[in-house]
Chains A and B, each alone.
Chain A
């Protein structure tokens, strides 16, 4: 028999045997690695549970030298430390990671980003800024780094740099940052207004409108500028535009708007506008404004009748307090005493009440902020609608 007939079937048999042997060796080797890693992991976890976090970090750092997967564990650990407020520990861990040789560039930049966040949390803004700027220059995690840089510049109130970086972020991600940039211009305009640089303030407002044509804050600032310059007719137009842009801000806009109506002697226009608002806005502010207007023009009786009729449709503690104040002069004796108690009660009820709430994080505030002090979002704090508030 030809030798080839014997050899031919033997080669595939040997092939299968070799394949199987290689798989067996590979499985045994990875199993050894896993068990070695697992024992170190458990040792590290044990240290963590025993509150011996320094020793735990040492174990985890040694572990990082085995393979790249443990780097991710480190990043998670650093994140955990930062969230717990142990920023110094998080910084030390991330610094170790960054200085570790043999780390891939991708992992190193992630560690740098985390380190920057640690610095931010620790209040070391200059170091964080330097790190994030380097990351942007390297084009590594640039969108995240830019967002952090914008947050730093907002904190430092360096609005020019914030605008510059927000524009870069817009180009990089394609996301619309215009409302935020408009707020930065409004901040600049407000600062210029306070320093008396009115032309500069107007220029910033123009740029804010270019970013966001229906920017309520820019309309309100325009109205304020014009009112301060004695241009009350123009101020009225700006304030009315602000309410049209976002009716939710009515309680903040109405007081200066009414002032401008009065100074420009346009009370008929005021009445028309407020009547128009009653249909569109369900808060109590326009009702109170109209009550005030009727009291001045038609007398106390007409004002009380209007207010009582409106309170039946939209019950409100603020409205009730206005009604008590209006009727107080007409009441005498024991009823007056009872009314005084009721007035004090309603006043206390209103004093403890948050008038504004952030629609993003739920932060409650008594005064209005354009940037939420809690989640740092812009234009998310809005008046609360309800019986006890607006």
Chain B
């Protein structure tokens, strides 16, 4: 299983390197407060990384908030004594 993961990772790194080499020409971005020029491959990578991070953050926040709510509910229930 680990070997398969390593092989997939190597394929993706190779593909990334090849794509990066083939799309080395620069593209410009106007971000209103700054102007950035970076290679097409790097732009692709940055977009993917930002999407990945936002997805991960959303899932993490959702889970942790649900747990917090459950804990608060349990804390409220506990002090009720006969």
Contact = CB atoms under 8 A, between A and B. Distances in A.
A26 B59 contact: yes
- State the majority secondary structure of interface residues on B: helix
Contact of A68 (B27, B48, B57, B71): B71
A18 B55 contact: yes
B59 A23 contact: yes
A14 B79 contact: no
A137 interface: no
A10 interface: yes
Contacts of A5: none
Contacts of A13: 51
Given A3-B43, A7-B44, A7-B47, A18 B78 contact: no
A17 B52 contact: yes
Contacts of A266: none
Instruction: Give the interface residue-count category, chain A.
Output: 20 to 34
B16 to A, nearest CB: 13
Residue of A3, A15, A26, A110 with most partner-chain B CB within 10 A: A15
Nearest to A8: B47
Contacts of A113: 81
A20 B63 CA distance: 12
Interface of A: 3, 6-7, 10-23, 26, 68-69, 72, 75, 104, 106-107, 109-110, 113, 141, 144
28 contacts: A3-B40, A10-B47, A10-B48, A11-B48, A11-B50, A14-B48, A14-B49, A14-B50, A14-B51, A15-B54, A15-B55, A15-B58, A17-B55, A18-B51, A18-B52, A18-B53, A19-B59, A21-B52, A21-B56, A26-B60, A69-B74, A75-B78, A106-B78, A106-B79, A109-B79, A110-B81, A113-B81, A141-B79
Interface of B: 27, 40, 43-44, 47-60, 63, 71, 74-75, 78-79, 81-82
